[in-house]
Amino acid sequence: MGAAGVRLDRVSFSYRGAPETVHDVSLSVEGGECVVLCGPSGGGKTTVIRLINGLAGGYYEGEARGRVEIGGTRHADLPAWKRAESVGSVFQDPASQFFSSQLAGEIAFSCENLGYDRDTVVSLTDGSIAAFGLDGLRGTPNDRLSSGQKQKVAIASAVAPRPLIVAMDEPSSNLDEEAAMALGRTVAQMKAEGYALVIAEHRIAYLEGVADRFHYVRDGRIERSFTPAQMEALPLEQRRALGLRSTSRAPRPALPRPLAGCGAQKGACALSLRGVSAAFGARRVLQDVSFSVSSGQIVALTGKNGAGKTTLARIVAGLSAPRGGTVEVGGARRTRRALRRLVWFSPNDVRAEFFSPSVQEEVMLLVDPADENRERARRVLEGLGLWDLRERYPSTLSGGQKQRLSIACGLVMRRPVLVLDEPTSGLDALSMEKLSASLRFAAQEGQAILVITHDNEFLGSCCTHCFELGE
């Protein structure tokens, strides 16, 4: 693999029917380099990734200016198959890039689509599965994988054809801490093998010792660039003002485990799980899970990717049926239909969540349009940094903004139980702090909040208890 990588020279881009999103961006990444795009949610990082892999101006219609070069050749002069062979892409939502229902078929697809012969496809597929430790998932349908497992499959698929450049959009967003650090080691190995790596990220601690440069992207521009030493030396207040996460691993805060029953807090007990079990066919996912969440508590649900956290959340929300056990809300056992009325579930994948033509209308969709609810909607949107976007179509928001909008809907509705699946996956540090403050306020109002998270910074900022699921 040569040293040729990717070069953007004064590139601007506007999506069709929208103002310019990226303005006069220039950057260069050679083979064997790792460059990180950081900065606030909605700042333009994803669009820069799309300019590199050719989706901006192709799949996403719009107008581009400036020059993009891949491997020393102008992007526009490369046929589509050559761009696909040269640039491996990992999207913010991994499931959106899946074509196959099975692991091996998904990873093989990128090689087959490039016309490689059978022996090459098998060799590259098996090598990528082994490199990412995915052999144990060969028999599991892709739609049964956890969000973190889907992320690893997407990365394995992107690098299977061994492209010159790998462009990743928040690849660690759904990974547990151990898996994120393993991804950091994988990125280091890819860098050593000569890949040019461009990674848009909020969680940057796993790239410690790997990243060569950090470009701070805000309002569609590269405002500043940092060496790793400069990034690490940033004072805490300046880091917070820029919305940057820590460059070092945050320790897991010592929080009490929630009780198996609310006991003396009778009347305040909002949610109780008693002996909940679940399975996919013959594969056991959950076994005899019992804990409770009282009104005013924010309980973090942690555990490795694939431990069953999202399955448990869907059971609590009435979206999936347990194989055994019961779910109680407000001290009474509830049917799945009743749970869907009492529990708000904000999923990690919010692509199909929104139905209204504006952010403001979306948060008011399921509540009475009384003045008090409109005022509450305004306060919630302001608290989550979405008020200035209230007239925007939800589909035009960034991934982190969509995540906050889904949570805003649950806060405005004031259901007794709020369940959030990886709510910080697309959030910068400032947005995370706003979310934490909003959840603390909701807890003070009496909502019981269950949060699936791998984010130790977020966990320490607002959670009152922590329950860890085992394998």
On whether both 189 and 295 belong to a single domain, the answer is no
List the beta strands (DSSP E) in 121-220: 165-169, 196-200, 213-218
Alpha helices by DSSP H, listed for 11-64, are: 45-53
Predicted confidence at residue 147, as pLDDT, reads 67
Tens-digit pLDDT string for the chain (471 aa): 345 699 999 999 999 888 899 999 999 999 999 999 999 988 999 999 999 999 898 888 999 999 999 988 998 888 888 888 899 998 877 777 888 888 999 999 989 988 899 999 999 999 999 888 898 888 888 887 876 788 788 889 998 998 999 999 988 887 888 888 888 888 898 899 899 999 999 999 999 999 999 999 999 999 999 999 999 999 988 998 898 988 888 888 889 988 777 654 544 789 999 999 998 877 788 999 999 999 999 999 999 888 899 999 999 999 999 999 999 999 999 999 999 999 999 998 777 688 899 999 999 988 888 888 899 999 999 999 999 999 999 988 887 888 899 999 999 999 999 999 999 987 889 989 999 999 999 999 999 999 999 899 999 999 999 999 985
In this prediction, residue 385 carries a pLDDT of 92
C-alpha to C-alpha distance for 427 and 443, rounded to whole angstroms? 21
Q: Considering the domain boundaries, does residue 138 fall inside one?
A: yes
Collapsed DSSP state (helix, strand, coil) of residue 460: helix
Count of structural domains within the chain: 2
What type of residue is 438? Answer: S
CA 251 to chain centre: 20
| Distance between CA atoms of residues 25 and 11, nearest Å | 5
Under 8 Å between Cβ of 245 and 457? yes
Asked if residue 305 and residue 230 are part of one domain, the reply reads no
Cα(346)–Cα(230) distance, integer angstroms:
37
Cα distances (angstroms) measured from residue 200 to each of 93, 296, 303, 387, 433: 13, 35, 25, 25, 20
Check residue 101 and give its pLDDT.
Answer: 86
The answer to whether position 257 is within a domain reads no
Q: What is the CATH number of the domain that holds 153?
A: 3.40.50.300
What sign does the dihedral 199-54-191-22 (CA atoms) show?
negative
Given this model, what pLDDT does residue 339 score? Answer: 97
End-of-domain residue from the set 242, 274, 301: 242
Query: Same domain, yes or no, for 234 and 329?
Result: no
b or e along 192-215 (b: 16 or more beta carbons within 10 Å of the residue's beta carbon)? eebbbbbbbbbbbbbbbebbbbbb
The amino acid occupying position 211 is: A
Residue 177's contacts (CB-CB under 8 Å, 6 or more residues apart) are 249, 252, 454, 456
In terms of DSSP H, where are the helices of 42-117?
Answer: 45-53, 80-86, 103-112
73 and 205 together in one domain: yes
Q: 201 and 270: one domain?
A: no
Task: Check whether residue 274 and residue 330 sit in a common domain.
Answer: yes
Contacts of 363 (CB under 8 A, 6+ apart): 377, 380, 381, 405, 408, 409, 412
Residues 235 and 272 in one domain: no
> Would you say residue 255 lies in a domain?
no
Beta strand pairing call for 269-280 and 283-294 = antiparallel
The answer to whether residue 142 sits within a structural domain is: yes
381 and 453 together in one domain: yes
Q: Is the dihedral of CA 221, 223, 227, 231 positive or negative?
A: negative
| Tokens representing residue 183 in the block | 């991804």
Q: What is the DSSP letter of 139?
A: T
Asked if residue 175 and residue 282 are part of one domain, the reply reads: no
In a domain, 48, yes or no: yes
248 domain residue, yes or no: no
CA distance 50 to 398: 13
> Which of left, alpha, beta for 42 (phi over 0: left; psi -120 to 50: alpha)?
left
Phi, psi (rounded to 5 degrees) for 148: -70, -40
> Is residue 234 domain-shared with residue 125, that is, in the same domain?
yes
Of 20, 92, 23, whose CA–CA distance to 53 is shortest? 92
Prediction pTM value: 0.83
Residues 372 and 228 in one domain: no
In a domain, 220, yes or no: yes
Alpha-carbon span 43 to 243, nearest angstrom = 11
In which domain, by residue range, is 460 found? Answer: 263-468
Domain end residue (candidates: 177, 208, 242): 242
Helices and strands, number each (H, E), in the chain: 15, 19
Return d(Cα 185, Cα 217) in angstroms, integer.
25
Domain end among 242, 275, 293: 242
Are residues 205 and 271 both part of a single domain? Answer: no
Determine how β-strand 298-302 pairs with β-strand 448-452: parallel
Does some domain include residue 254? Answer: no
